[in-house]
Chain A
Amino acid sequence: MLELKNVYGGYGKITILNGVSFSIPKASITTVIGPNGAGKSTVFKAIFGLLNIHSGQILLDGKDVTRQTPRQMISQGVTYVPQGRNVVPQLSVYHNLELGGITAPDQAKVRERIETVMDQFPMLRQFRNRKAIELSGGQQKQLEVARALLLDPKLILIDEPSIGLSPNLVQEVFQTLIRLRDQGVTILMVEQNAKAALAMSDDGLVLELGQTRMHDKASNLLADPRVGQLFLGGHVEAEHAV
């Protein structure tokens, strides 16, 4: 569904991605893990057209989408939910949702779609006229996820959805992602809470120093002692420490 072939890229002349390659299947959840500075969020920016790609290729359903702009990526059915708070604070919940479909030519369909999405997230219907900044952190994250669904995307890039959320809300967001996967949406996720994320994912991907170190079934990565030691909070013996 999505394939990266030997992608090099970074900010200006600084290279962050040093030949990232992987592919993810349709209707799956793939979690990207790795230490700080591994280039996890940068991969998302590269896919979504927010990064200077020096070389390599990004394919979406076999089509070359390397160096496309965010608007072009949206029109290809890709949406991106960055880490942190990403609402427009002074706009209402409804108008934040509307922005999710701003590139659609048929705004009547967007309005219908908003109603459908609000059915999936009843909280948003309850607070539809409330300013986004007045929602709690978890509610704002739900709003962001809901907004990403406005154009019925086939691929969602979601970066650190659990940051700042209580464990209950993290589970809520994860359940939402599983439901979307079951509906046929492909999800690529970066998550610090690696154990929990891998537990609900189909595949896992380990990035280090801007390169793909491991790519396997999520259950295999969870069971892999090397991954456990390095990224899942396992204990690293002194002689094995990196």
Chain B
Amino acid sequence: MSQFLQVLLSGLATGSIYALVAIGFTLVWQAAQTVNFAQGEFVMLPAFFVLIGMSVFGMPLWIALIFGLAISIVVLGVLFKKMIVEPILPHGGITLIIATMALGILLKESVKEFYSAEAQPFPSLFPGDPINVFGAVLSLQDVFNLVISLGIVVLLTLFLNRTRTGRCMQATAQNPAVAEILGVNVKRMILYTFLINAALAALASFLITPVYLAKFSNGETLGLIAFIAAIVGGFNQIRGAIAGGLLIGVLDNLTAAYVTAQYRAALPLVLLIVIILVRPQGILGTSEGRTV
């Protein structure tokens, strides 16, 4: 029982970070009706901003984290929207999707070329000491990752549902034409969405990089798993992205512990196929009718 609990909680910790990244897919989808295939690289990059802050500018860790968060919001939020999304979106969603793929490659190769091709150690934000939770031995890092990720998700949900700005963002996402007619500042709401996505990516980066080290290729797997999590949960629903992330994190750990670790990388893909066949709108998603 304690082993199951250990596997479960550890899976939830990883899954909660997947959820943060998957929410980003959902937010960008709602704001621009496109898929950001550079989302994985958006999670890879902020860790390097922190490392640059520490190694180049000599900042202490906490200052470097704030520096990394701020730079991420500017580069991955404001500049991404202004320089990629706004100019390319009028040419069609598919064009923008291809552009985000190119951006992902550019970010990855730039880090490899200008920083390092080697994995870089990233300072842990929390002590790695093990703690005992109802008999299950967990690393403190996992516990903090789970608590902070879920805390961020709760705060985001409260912001979207309990504040007027959040509800304006929802209105913009669900029916932009109506939002404009009602006087909602649609452009500003879309900008907020991109800023939140950038902040979520940065926070996910700070939580997960101490485990995986900072490497230019980190975004490949993380982006793919989060993309699948968003589809599995329901691409057009934030709660779906949360559910999908947690589900994949837990299933991944359970499979590795009780079935086989050899094929654990295939599990998200199998889950994706099953969901697309059985419930294409995702577990908590809603179907969006399109006419031809």
Contacts and interface: CB of A to CB of B under 8 A. Distances in A.
B14 to A, nearest CB: 29
Contact of B174 (A71, A80, A88): A88
Interface stretch (A19-27, A55-63, A94-102): A94-102
Interface of B: 164, 167-168, 170-171, 174-175, 177-185
Interface of A: 48, 50, 70-71, 74, 80, 82, 86-91, 95, 98-100, 102-103, 107, 147
Q: Which 9 pairs of residues, A with B, have the shortest CB-CB distance? A: A103-B183, A88-B171, A74-B183, A71-B183, A86-B178, A99-B182, A88-B174, A80-B181, A88-B175
B168 A99 contact: yes
B180 A70 contact: yes
15 contacts: A70-B181, A74-B182, A82-B177, A82-B181, A88-B170, A88-B171, A88-B178, A89-B174, A91-B167, A98-B164, A98-B167, A99-B171, A100-B182, A102-B184, A103-B182
A48 to B, nearest CB: 7
A50 B176 CA distance: 13
A91 B173 CA distance: 11
B181 A48 contact: yes
B189 to A, nearest CB: 11
B183 A102 contact: yes
A194 B180 CA distance: 29
B290 to A, nearest CB: 16
A36 to B, nearest CB: 19
Contacts, number: 53
A169 B115 CA distance: 66
Contacts of B178: 82, 86-88
Contacts of A98: 164, 167
A95 B167 contact: yes
A179 to B, nearest CB: 22
Contacts of A74: 182-183
Nearest to A104: B183
Nearest to A80: B181
Given A74-B183, A100-B182, 18 more contacts: A71-B183, A82-B181, A86-B178, A86-B181, A88-B170, A88-B175, A88-B178, A88-B179, A89-B174, A89-B175, A90-B174, A91-B171, A99-B167, A99-B179, A99-B182, A102-B164, A102-B184, A103-B182
Contacts of B184: 99, 102
Nearest to B180: A70
A113 to B, nearest CB: 14
Contact of A102 (B170, B175, B177, B182): B182
A71 B179 CA distance: 11
Contacts of B185: 71
Nearest to B168: A102
A95 B169 CA distance: 12
Contacts of B174: 88-91
Residue among B167, B175, B177, B178 having the largest count of chain A Cβ atoms under 10 Å: B178
A172 B253 CA distance: 58
A100 B181 CA distance: 9
Nearest to B184: A102
Contact of B182 (A50, A90, A147): A147
A24 to B, nearest CB: 20
A70 B180 CA distance: 7
Contacts of B164: 98, 102, 107
A141 to B, nearest CB: 13
A4 to B, nearest CB: 19
Contacts of A95: 167
A95 B180 CA distance: 16
A197 B178 CA distance: 24
A25 B180 CA distance: 27
A27 B171 CA distance: 31
A91 B168 CA distance: 10
B170 A90 contact: yes
B199 to A, nearest CB: 23
Contacts of B182: 74, 99-100, 102-103, 147
Contacts of B179: 88, 99
A110 B226 CA distance: 40
B247 to A, nearest CB: 22
B190 to A, nearest CB: 15
B105 to A, nearest CB: 35
Residue among A89, A90, A91 having the largest count of chain B Cβ atoms under 10 Å: A90
Nearest to B174: A88
Contacts of B170: 88, 90-91
A70 B187 CA distance: 13
B145 to A, nearest CB: 30
A87 B175 CA distance: 8
